[in-house]
């Protein structure tokens, strides 16, 4: 697990700039690579400080750090995926194919529930695709369910299916159609999955540019910002719109209310529990909105937001 996260952090940092250049959805602010790399790096650094031998416990602690430090839409969803994977693995010391299937299924549920309006051709599609593909593979596989060989074969299959899902994003997202580009966030998460595949197989990850999906990272020019930006209700009409992120303690009813109210004033709403226990859970909140004051007005009616960050939705911000 530690090797996986450190490998993934280094892999994302290596292709940070081409991923940034590829970034056009949900807004073309050229920062997906940096956001994914920073988010995974937070988890990798946490892993070096944790002494547990339980796989799920380690991943859960690392995922919580990723959520705390998540940057942008893409970083937040990757952190949600990791948190979802960790929960079914809580008492696991050694990963197997059936356990990976359960982890990916839970990740799919967590990512879906975090999103107000899932969009095809994004990280959500990639997570759903590999989850479904893992279930199908295990159902027809002749490998011993708990064998290491079976886990290696499953992960290799999932990387192949993930490549297909990322390739399809170029047609699923209207802004990418006909450009030869793919979704930057989905590609970044595929890199993380491929790093897991290489780590489990005890192979050195050669870098994203040396992998089949590396073709999407080469010869890129910055996206046409005017054509590719995807404005929403809260962000579209205002050139000064911001990405607003915070942490807030809410009970389930208040969380549902906040999600509804944020959806009314902005878009790209993501809400997920950082530590899903107790009557008032801490939630990570992400929204693109006209002004930070609008988001604060919603949140302060229900609790006290902390860890607030805001970035303009322009190149160099966070998405």
Residue 13: closest CA among 211, 216, 208, 213: 208
Q: How does DSSP assign 19-62, residue by residue?
A: HHHH--SS---S-HHHHHHHHHHHHHHHHTT-----HHHHHHHH
Q: Are 79 and 67 in contact (CB under 8 A)?
A: yes
pTM of the model: 0.88
The full set of domains in the chain, from first to last, is: 2-218 (1.25.40.340), 242-310 (3.30.70.1150)
pLDDT of the residue at 318: 45
Q: Are 159 and 214 in contact (CB under 8 A)?
A: no
Give CA–CA dist 10/5, Å, rounded: 9
pLDDT of the residue at 233: 40
pLDDT of the residue at 231: 39
The contacts of residue 141 (CB under 8 Å, 6+ apart) are 97, 150, 153, 154
Q: How does DSSP assign 99-147, residue by residue?
A: HHHHHHHHHHHHHHHHBSS--TTSHHHHHHHHHHHHHHHHHH--S-TT-
Give CA–CA dist 247/114, Å, rounded: 14
Give CA–CA dist 99/86, Å, rounded: 10
pLDDT of the residue at 24: 67
Mean pLDDT by 10 residues, the chain (319 residues): 95 93 65 91 93 87 92 92 94 93 97 92 97 96 89 98 96 85 94 98 97 86 42 48 93 92 92 78 92 95 94 61
Give CA–CA dist 222/106, Å, rounded: 35
Give CA–CA dist 33/188, Å, rounded: 7
How crowded is residue 128: how many other Cβ atoms within 10 Å of its Cβ? 20
């Amino acid at each position: 697990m530690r090797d996986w996260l450190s490998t993934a952090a280094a892999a994302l940092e290596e292709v940070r700039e081409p991923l940034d250049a590829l970034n056009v959805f949900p807004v073309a602010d050229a920062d997906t690579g940096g956001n994914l790399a920073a988010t995974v790096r937070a988890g990798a650094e946490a892993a070096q400080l944790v002494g547990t031998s339980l796989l799920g416990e380690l991943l859960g602690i690392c995922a919580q750090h990723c959520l705390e430090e998540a940057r942008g839409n893409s970083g937040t969803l990757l952190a949600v995926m990791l948190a979802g994977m960790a929960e079914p693995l809580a008492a696991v010391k050694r990963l197997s194919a059936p356990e990976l299937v359960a982890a990916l299924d839970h990740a799919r549920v967590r990512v879906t529930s975090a999103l107000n309006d899932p969009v095809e051709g994004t990280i959500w599609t990639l997570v759903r695709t590999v989850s479904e593909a893992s279930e199908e593979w295990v159902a027809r596989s002749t490998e011993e369910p708990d064998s290491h060989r079976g886990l290696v074969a499953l992960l290799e299959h999932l990387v192949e299916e993930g490549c297909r899902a990322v390739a399809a994003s170029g047609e699923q997202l209207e802004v990418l159609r006909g450009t030869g580009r793919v979704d930057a966030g989905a590609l970044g998460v595929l890199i993380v999955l491929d790093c897991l595949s290489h780590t489990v197989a005890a192979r050195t990850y050669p870098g994203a540019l040396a992998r089949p999906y590396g073709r999407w990272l080469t010869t890129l020019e910055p996206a046409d910002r005017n054509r590719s930006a995807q404005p929403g209700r809260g962000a579209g009409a205002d050139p000064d719109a911001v990405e607003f992120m915070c942490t807030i303690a809410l009970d389930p009813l208040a969380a549902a209310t906040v999600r509804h109210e944020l959806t009314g004033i902005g878009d790209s709403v993501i809400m997920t529990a950082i530590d899903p226990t107790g009557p008032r859970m801490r939630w990570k909140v992400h929204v693109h909105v006209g002004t930070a004051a609008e988001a604060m007005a919603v949140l302060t009616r229900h609790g006290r937001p902390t860890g607030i960050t805001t970035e303009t939705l322009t190149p160099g911000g966070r998405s």
